[in-house]
Structure 1
Amino acid sequence: MNRIRFLATAAIAAVLLSACASRPTRAPAPVDREQAQRADAQRAAVSDWRLSGRVAISNGRQGGSGRLDWTQRGGRYDISLAAPVTRQSWRLSGDAASARLEGIEGGPRESGDVEDLLRASTGWDIPVRALVDWVRGVAAPVDAHGPARVAHGAGDLPTRIEQAGWEIEYRDWYEAGIGQPALPKRIEARRDEARVRLVVDGWTVVPGAASPQAQAEQAPDTLLAQTLDSLRLDDPAADMRAHVEAGDLRPVAVCGFACLAPGYGPGGAAVVRGAEMRIIDGSGDVIVGDRHHELKRQAEAYARAYNAALAAWRAAHSDAAGATPAD
């Protein structure tokens, strides 16, 4: 009996192994080059933004880590770094022509070359001017940093950029949202022994900063259709959870004669100040046809479901999220 049992078990195992062996390996989805280029262009057009996260820097001999807050306004940057263990903090500000480093021994230092300033003051090799672009997942300008090799992967998003002797890997991404393209979440840049690792906890794209001229040239229905394509219309609550995880607690607004956040606040539709809401682009007060009318109806349904889920989340997390809309 034991022998029969053993033979039966062996036969079943052989069948299962055979099935596993014959199962084809799924090849990675091919990259849509045109879509990847369009997405790269959208990220490159984002000139005004803020991010917060955690950074680790090393040069093979020494290193450090801390909280990072970076504000970019066109070509001007303002970067703050705080080390929680030593309770030290530094601030780096400047543009393409000058840089100022504060918080170091001996007082602030200034230079026309930010990389030389950091190298001389801290011993760290950090390509700040190129990181302005790399941190968004786009290659830095060729005239300043030389040619770049960009590899794309899943979702037509960059997985690696090689430029100026540096290799930048993108380990994770935030999905595209309202008025915001997909942006990196985990980045590692390295050259020789130098390493910069960044985990972005949250992005904020300044409203209107992402190619306003290009948006103005688009028909409202086309712009609205493109915006809706970037949203999870089948699951607005999933978008809400992703934005909350990134620290964005703003409701979604649809504009007409006024910009309202349907499903949010007393009465089911709240008027929110512009800086405190996420406006669905293309949903203005002018309707250009039946298609635009239907797209706007979809936008309102999405916003209502998103905001209802957000209001419920805030009510359940009032200590963490501050006052609920009902307050």
Structure 2
Amino acid sequence: MTATLRSLRDAASCMRWALLALLAFMLAACTSLPKPIEGASADAFSRIGRFAITVNEESGKQNAVQGGFSWSDDGRRYVLDLTNPLGSTEARVEGRPGAASLTKADGTRLVADNPDALAEDALGSSMPVSGLRDWLRGKLPADPQATEVTRDELGRPTAFEQGGWRARLSRYDALGPQLLVLERQEPGRRIMVRLVVNPS
């Protein structure tokens, strides 16, 4: 019975981190671009791809989850869909200035003033979700300030620390990086998020 409860607790922990991606954050491979946000401006931005999240505990235990993501952004608001390996949507994150929401497959809905606060409510840990809007474009948000920034010959960021995350961005195309590797050290565990963007 204890082993069963522990297994259920571990599964719940993995799913919380899956929702992060991206709130990530974070795939079954998709074959078409996400539908644009209705009324999107000329600078609308969209990406699709897959994610993997690995949590290494101090005890040596490792939890991992993977799936797909679809990101649509018109510069003011965004929609992020997270899918399981079979392609079914597990969660949708929607955000705009002053508001963000997370809707799970079972209909459960969480709301907050901003995506970072939403991540904290959903995961119990502060996460720089808003930073992903810029990171996916190969840019660095102004706040919090990024440190240890390295850039390629075109001036695009390739490595930095920001908001408690160490990030590596590579495989740039015209829209931004196609590979993002994010690492975060927390008490008792290390988290790694890997986002692979499908070629545009």
Residues 124, 64 of structure 1: alpha-carbon distance in 2 compared, 3 angstrom cutoff: farther
Q: Which among 47, 50, 63 is matched to residue 51 of structure 1?
A: 47
| Paired residue total | 150
Answer with 1 or 2: which has the greater Rg.
1
Deviations 1:66-116 (A, max 9, x none): 111001111211100101259452100012311111115562111113223
Deviations 1:143-192 (A, max 9, x none): x3134442113454322122222211013112x4xxxxx52111111121
Residues 163, 47 of structure 1: alpha-carbon distance in 2 compared, 3 angstrom cutoff: farther
CA contact (8 A) 2:67 2:84 kept: yes
CA contact (8 A) 1:52 1:200 kept: yes
Amino acid at match of 1:136: R
CA distance in 1, matches of 2:150, 2:118: 31
CA distance in 1, matches of 2:48, 2:87: 19
CA contact (8 A) 2:81 2:89 kept: no
CA distance in 2, matches of 1:122, 1:165: 15
Give the match for residue 195 of structure 2. 198
Give the match for residue 113 of structure 1. 114
CA distance in 2, matches of 1:171, 1:130: 16
Write out aligned runs for 1:87-236 (5 A): 87-103=88-104, 105=106, 107-122=108-123, 126-141=127-142, 144-174=143-173, 176=174, 183-192=176-185, 193-202=190-199
Q: Percent identity?
A: 27
CA contact (8 A) 2:168 2:181 kept: yes
User: TM-score, with normalisation over the residues of structure 2?
Assistant: 0.64
> Larger RCO: Structure 1 or Structure 2 (Cα < 8 Å, ≥ 6 residues apart)?
2
Q: Specify which structure has the higher proportion of strand.
A: 2
The SS at the match of 2:122 is helix
Deviations 1:18-62 (A, max 9, x none): xxxxxxxxxxxxxxxxxxxxxxxxxxxx95200111112244354
Aligned residues: CA RMSD: 2.7
Q: Specify which structure has the higher proportion of helix.
A: 1
User: TM-score, with normalisation over the residues of structure 1?
Assistant: 0.41
The SS at the match of 1:75 is coil
